[in-house]
Structure 1
Amino acid sequence: MTTSASAVLVFLAAAVLIISLRSHRRFRLPPGPKGVPFFGNVFDLPKSQEWLTYAEWSKQYGSDIIYLNFVGTPVIVINSAKHATELFGKRSAIYSDRSRFVMVNELMGWEFDFAFMGYNDRWRELRRMFHKEFNAQAILKYQLRMTQEVQAILHRFVERPNDFMDHLRHLAGSIILFVTYGIKPLPKDDPHLKAADNALRGLVAATHAGAHLVDFIPALKYIPSWFPGAGFKRQAAEWCKATMNMRDEPFAAVKKSMSTGSTPVSIVSSLLTEAECVKDRERQEEAIRDMAGTAYSGGADTTVSALGTFLLAMVLHPEVQRKAQAEIDRVIGHDRLPTFEDEQDLPYITAVMREVLRWRPIAPLGRAILHDESVFKDPDSFNPDRFLTKEGTLDADSASHVDFVFGFARRACPGRFIGISSVWLTIATILTAFDVDAPTDEHGSKIMPSGEYTSGLAMYPVPFQCTFKPRSAQMETIISDAAQKEEEFLLDIRGKV
């Protein structure tokens, strides 16, 4: 072993010892698994679905708050809505900060995303800008385009039903890409959507709890990439390229099109026009770029998770699908697709959406809170009626609880309004257009999904199959007409650029 390699090992061993010793402070801690010297509970973490283990520990130790130690870094796990509201809501000034996230921020380049930033002036600046463009009132002007995008994607479910998750990714990416940058992606193999997909795959992998020791021993980030055991640095470098491509390429495309006077109106183009009069223009453009990248990364991933869960639920619970379609037929009829104007008259569809978000939350680490038996009776069952009154109207009290899926107080997801809107409309439109079912095998037996999920920052159903049967011949024509209108829109866009 070389002298430099030996020195690195000695340095790391000392760092582990120092961090471990620092953690042994004399104060009362919540209960939790004992762990081992130096490494704490690192080896106690499961390889997947860690949220289930956290919930089990909560029962095992008789506490909604669990203490873990990851190589000297204290970690508190909260497993109830009551305590989460108390700490993150009422005491948000204390608990609104973020961990350092060495792998994600410092090695993979995600420090631009204010979701991973500490609670500081830069975070406040970007969140303020984001909220201005994506608050509940601001997104109303995007409803027409969202409706067009959702209707235009329907024919793909008929033509290639086995690729439905790809269709959902294209839909989610199309909405946020057009709203944020004014870019209409290609129908297939769009480079911007590919860049986002590559970046988000890396992010999901890197944020698995305990995935990288460098998050608990930051000094590891300084070891050379060629050093044995430093594969995480080589992987981070690849992921960083994807992250920068996702953030920079669509922003650069908008700036280029603005210089030729051929850009469609978008959030970025409008903000860049305003920035021309700002004194510190370069810094303002950087803030716009980072805010837009945050919107793009968040909107392109979470919506897909929710809609994947929706389709899984419809296959597993056909009785819910029939009840939802009965409401649609009564309110909308059979000769058109839904719009946002129908939302107030479709409370059961809204209840289905809320149950989708609660039943299998997008961010799985919030599962215990959204499956809290003191709040949600029989939490593992898929039951949209829990969000309705006896009269069939939306229950305001129960509806507020599902907001937990978007986080708390100052760290609540600022993109939740456009996310909820696009998920609601897609659910209503798919149920209006199709009967969703499980496929059958050669013996006529249905091939039912397992209902299992992947692990990561956002979770998805493991791959499964379903069929999409247009509910009538008239609906087939409506779907075809929507696809034709989208083709005309694309030709118009390309003619202007």
Structure 2
Amino acid sequence: MAVLVQVLPIVVAVAIVVRLLLSGRRPKNLPPGPPTLPVIGNLHLMPKRDAHLQFEKWAKEYGPVYSLILGSKTLVVLSSDRAVKDLLDKKSNMYSHRQEMYIGQTLCSGDLRILMMGYDARWRMCRKLVHSLLNISAAKSYVPYQMLENKQMLYEMITQPERCMYNIRRYTNSLTTTMVFGWRSTTYDDPKMMQLFEGFSEFAELNQTGLAALVDFFPWMRWLPDFLLPVRAKAKELHRREKALYLGHWLRAKEEAKAGTIMRCFSEDLVAIQKAEGISDDQASYITGTLLEAGSDTTSSTLYAFVQAMLLYPEVQKKAQAIIDEVIGPNRMPTMEDERDLQYIRAIVKESLRWMPTTIMGAVPHAVTQDDWYNGFLIPKNAGVVNNVWAINMDPARHPNPRRFDPDRFKDDLQSLADAAANPDASKRDQFTFGAGRRICPGIHVAERSLFLGVSRMLWAFDISPVLDAQGKPILPDPDRLTQGFVCQPEEFQVKITPRSEARRQMVIEEWHAAEKEWLDPVTKQWRVCPLGPAKTRKA
């Protein structure tokens, strides 16, 4: 017994050392990937910025399906259209889960954010509710909201052209607040709007880089004291501020819905079913808040990328304007009814999404719920699975000379964005920015309409040209300089927005003033009359 007591600690110590030495290695039968180091695996190879470029480089070196060992976790990276179709789409019942995200979901989101929820009954309930707001029929009904917000954006491009990015952000945010809560964001300088964009940017960057990522890769780190884990306090503070914003929006909408004074919107219907579905106010605030952040950020980022593309490819702008002038003429602006006659504009929308994907590496990785085999390789249970959007969108086999902005790639593609994503032929999908499988972005229908109206009307009304330096040379942005995080856009750049003619300038101004007079309260600039019909009566 004495000998056993003496030997046991040694055996335990050896077992721990062996386990540590084995951890970080790539297990047998996994897809190939870069060489690993004990314990940390491939963590030492993870870049601090522009991770999408390294992930693309690995795809070229190790193939369309490769693996990364990140501490205690396995990450499988899908870098071909076929792999995404075969796994995330065709096996979506297995590939729609999430790995545990202590910083992003537990601390930053109070375990409430739909984006990071596991594939369970709660997520399916939330997803069903969101679908009711964003399905194709509902998306068509929101066009009157889109038209008004678009008119204000064009007006602001005349009155404050130096604030191009902020005019675009107000457009997408106000549309989303109207659809979700029933009120408008009348100015970008609203502190709550600025908090939304700045807070989500902070959230996105925090969850992809630095110590926050390490805590997910080494779960034992979460037991460290606060002074050794400062990111914990940062994540909790971010959640405190975010929850206050989202809960404030939700409770205001709930009060207005019960009073029967709310505009037609998602919150109106959510209030009606909240009790029956057992949805807490905290969860309701994050259901609506998730819609707000998704609808505001990704669409605005794509429109901003479109503006950058027009600076760098003026020949595309000239061709598009010539087509718009031929189809629409100078006496009216494009509407959604013109979409089928403006295929080149639809192609510009598709190319903007391909050329500058906002969810550059598929936002949050999927996770597989059981062991699976693909092309002779094991994809183990609980492995994260990345939709490598940048690498697929930039695949020269799919899109020759992929860093060139060329809408003619899609000249014969008459599919909607949703139809392209669902096409059983993976090679016929236009781009991968909206995700895949059961986790595909439900806002795809609304986004397509917002983007078409934004692109077509900006090209109808304005010339987009570079600012000149002191020597008279154009100042052009670098298209490869992007903001960081799992949702990104071009870094802010200078651009000159000028009306194409005095007549078009006047029409933009007159249409906005007419819309103000018809629909908006003259003081608050909130909707005075709802174009979708009156709100339903609620009992307090």
Q: TM-score, normalised by structure 2?
A: 0.82
1:166 maps to 166
Deviations, residues 452-490 of structure 1 (Å, cap 9, x unaligned):
222211111112111111011111111211332354343
Alpha-carbon shift at residue 209 of structure 1 (Å): 5.0
Letter in 1 for 2:97: D
Alpha-carbon shift at residue 268 of structure 1 (Å): 0.6
2:498 maps to 469
1:262, 1:496 within 8 Å by CA — same for their partners in 2?
A: no
1:42, 1:210 within 8 Å by CA — same for their partners in 2?
A: no
Q: Where does the alignment leave 5 or more consecutive residues of structure 2 unmatched?
A: 1-14, 362-388, 530-540
Choose which of 446, 451, 463 in structure 1 pairs with 2:474. 446
Cα gap change, 1:429 to 1:25, in 2 (>3 Å): closer
Identity of aligned residues (%): 30
Cα gap change, 1:45 to 1:494, in 2 (>3 Å): closer
Distance (whole Å) between structure 1 residues aligned to residue 497 and residue 78 of structure 2: 40
Distance (whole Å) between structure 1 residues aligned to residue 259 and residue 132 of structure 2: 27
Cα gap change, 1:124 to 1:328, in 2 (>3 Å): same
Residues 1:485 and 2:514 are matched in the alignment: yes
1:196, 1:242 within 8 Å by CA — same for their partners in 2?
A: no
1:6 maps to none
Cα gap change, 1:393 to 1:179, in 2 (>3 Å): closer
Alpha-carbon shift at residue 173 of structure 1 (Å): 0.5
Distance (whole Å) between structure 1 residues aligned to residue 60 and residue 26 of structure 2: 26
Cα gap change, 1:149 to 1:47, in 2 (>3 Å): same
1:243 maps to 242
Cα gap change, 1:188 to 1:362, in 2 (>3 Å): closer
Alpha-carbon shift at residue 34 of structure 1 (Å): 1.4
Alpha-carbon shift at residue 188 of structure 1 (Å): 4.3
Distance (whole Å) between structure 2 residues aligned to residue 454 and residue 188 of structure 1: 20
Cα gap change, 1:240 to 1:130, in 2 (>3 Å): same
Deviations, residues 204-232 of structure 1 (Å, cap 9, x unaligned):
2123256521111223334332x23x221
**Count of residues in correspondence between the two structures:** 476
2:31, 2:66 within 8 Å by CA — same for their partners in 1?
A: yes
1:192, 1:246 within 8 Å by CA — same for their partners in 2?
A: yes
2:463 maps to 435
Letter in 2 for 1:198: E
1:377 maps to 400
Greater relative CO, 1 or 2 (CA 8 Å, sep 6+): 2
Alpha-carbon shift at residue 35 of structure 1 (Å): 2.8
Alpha-carbon shift at residue 316 of structure 1 (Å): 0.2
1:334 maps to 330
1:450-461 → structure 2 map (5 Å cutoff):
450-451=478-479, 452-461=481-490
Cα gap change, 1:487 to 1:17, in 2 (>3 Å): farther
Letter in 1 for 2:95: Y
Deviations, residues 124-159 of structure 1 (Å, cap 9, x unaligned):
111111112211111111101101101111122223
1:235-384 → structure 2 map (5 Å cutoff):
235-275=234-274, 279=276, 282-283=278-279, 288-365=284-361, 366-384=389-407
Cα gap change, 1:358 to 1:496, in 2 (>3 Å): closer
1:148-167 → structure 2 map (5 Å cutoff):
148-167=148-167
Cα gap change, 1:64 to 1:105, in 2 (>3 Å): same
Distance (whole Å) between structure 1 residues aligned to residue 466 and residue 324 of structure 2: 22
Letter in 1 for 2:243: M
Letter in 1 for 2:521: L
Letter in 2 for 1:267: F
SS of the residue corresponding to residue 332 of structure 2 reads coil
Distance (whole Å) between structure 2 residues aligned to residue 478 and residue 118 of structure 1: 49
1:203, 1:457 within 8 Å by CA — same for their partners in 2?
A: no
Alpha-carbon shift at residue 257 of structure 1 (Å): 2.4
Distance (whole Å) between structure 2 residues aligned to residue 441 and residue 379 of structure 1: 30
Distance (whole Å) between structure 1 residues aligned to residue 17 and residue 314 of structure 2: 54
Residues 1:101 and 2:130 are matched in the alignment: no
Cα gap change, 1:188 to 1:404, in 2 (>3 Å): closer
Higher helix share: 1
Q: Where does the alignment leave 5 or more consecutive residues of structure 1 unmatched?
A: 1-13
Distance (whole Å) between structure 1 residues aligned to residue 490 and residue 317 of structure 2: 18
2:82, 2:427 within 8 Å by CA — same for their partners in 1?
A: no
Cα gap change, 1:83 to 1:164, in 2 (>3 Å): same
Residues 1:387 and 2:410 are matched in the alignment: yes
Alpha-carbon shift at residue 177 of structure 1 (Å): 0.3
Alpha-carbon shift at residue 160 of structure 1 (Å): 2.3
Deviates more, 1:339-348 or 1:442-451: 442-451
1:352, 1:384 within 8 Å by CA — same for their partners in 2?
A: yes
Alpha-carbon shift at residue 393 of structure 1 (Å): 6.8
Distance (whole Å) between structure 2 residues aligned to residue 15 and residue 341 of structure 1: 67
RMSD over aligned CA atoms reads 2.6
1:232 maps to 231
Q: TM-score, normalised by structure 1?
A: 0.89
Letter in 2 for 1:334: P
Deviations, residues 278-329 of structure 1 (Å, cap 9, x unaligned):
545x527665443322211110110111011100100000000011111110
